[in-house]
């Protein structure tokens, strides 16, 4: 069997199959394209990692909120108005100088959409899902995060019942920054645990 991926300007086979599937589901009345577009737009532009960054910045500047966040992530995140599908039960874990948390979904790509938006392609990649559990330090190093040998790494496996969010360490030198100024520093990668937040 010969498989071609098409030339310049042609849609790749995956895109064509996705379009054909969407058309079939639409014709059978199983999905509404307008609703699907609204969902995609919401998670790509309105939700995204910005919500999670606001949660982190609040926790960095408000010790009482941080305590609530670590005790009941779902409720504390809901205080900021972030909830919905894929966010019904979120557990928050905190990185420190001696402990580093990283998140994976070994079965599929369960992910806290209300605070992180759509999962990135690397999170869904079978290689990441398989290897980060067995050799987390190596995988993190390959992704650009070098951790000292004495830092304990804990890998958390997200499921349809429980999704995880990492509260990254606040970078040194940001003590003078306000909550609003801290938000742009926080990345999706830091909230999954494959990176640290860099100082401005």
Domain with residue 61: its CATH number is: 3.90.330.10
- 56 vs 191: CA distance, rounded Å: 8
72 belongs to a structural domain: yes
Is 131 part of a structural domain of the chain? Answer: yes
pLDDT at 2: 35
Tell me, yes or no, whether 182 lies in a domain: yes
Note whether residue 171 is domain-resident.
yes
Q: Which helix (H) or strand (E) holds 91?
A: strand 90-94
* Spans of the chain, pLDDT less than 70: 1-14, 41-47
How many beta carbons lie within 10 A of that of residue 125, not counting itself?
12
**19 located within any domain:** no
Strand pairing partners for 153?
Answer: 100
**105 catalytic residue (yes or no):** yes
Give dist(CA 78, CA 114) in Å, integer. Answer: 10
Which of 83, 96, 109, 158 is labelled catalytic?
Answer: 109
Establish whether 110 is a catalytic residue. yes
The count of other CB atoms within 10 Å of the CB of residue 56 is: 29
Residue 17 has a pLDDT of 81
DSSP code per residue over 113-159: HHHH-SPPHHHH-HHHHHHHHH-HHHHHHHTT----TTSEEEEEE--
In a domain, 5, yes or no: no
For 60, phi then psi, to 5°, come to -70, -30
Q: Of 83, 96, 105, 160, which one is the catalytic site residue?
A: 105
Integer Cα distance of 193 and 92 in angstroms: 12
Query: Residue 158 domain-assigned?
Result: yes
Q: What pLDDT is stored for residue 194 in this prediction? A: 98
Q: Which of 108, 141, 160, 178 is catalytic?
A: 108
Which of these is catalytic: 83, 96, 110, 178?
Answer: 110
In a domain, 25, yes or no: no
Domain range enclosing 69: 49-192
What per-residue confidence (pLDDT) applies to 98? Answer: 97
Catalytic residue status for 109: yes
Tally of domains in the chain: 1
């Amino acid at each position: 069997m010969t498989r071609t991926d098409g030339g310049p300007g042609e849609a790749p086979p995956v895109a064509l199959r996705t379009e054909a599937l969407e058309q079939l589901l639409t014709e059978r009345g199983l999905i509404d394209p307008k609703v699907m577009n609204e969902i995609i737009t919401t998670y790509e532009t309105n939700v995204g990692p910005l919500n999670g960054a606001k949660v982190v910045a609040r926790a960095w500047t408000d010790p009482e909120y941080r305590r609530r966040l670590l005790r009941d992530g779902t409720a504390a995140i809901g205080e900021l108005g972030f909830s919905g599908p894929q966010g019904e039960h979120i557990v928050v874990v905190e990185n420190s100088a001696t402990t580093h948390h990283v998140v994976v979904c070994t079965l599929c790509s369960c992910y806290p959409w209300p605070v992180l938006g759509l999962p990135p392609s690397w999170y869904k990649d079978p290689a990441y899902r398989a290897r980060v559990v067995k050799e987390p330090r190596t995988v993190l190093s390959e992704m650009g995060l070098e951790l000292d040998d004495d830092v304990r790494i804990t890998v958390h496996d997200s499921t349809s019942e429980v999704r995880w969010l990492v509260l990254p360490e606040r970078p040194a030198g940001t003590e003078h920054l306000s909550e609003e100024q801290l938000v742009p520093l926080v990345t999706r990668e830091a909230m999954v645990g494959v990176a640290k937040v860099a100082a401005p």
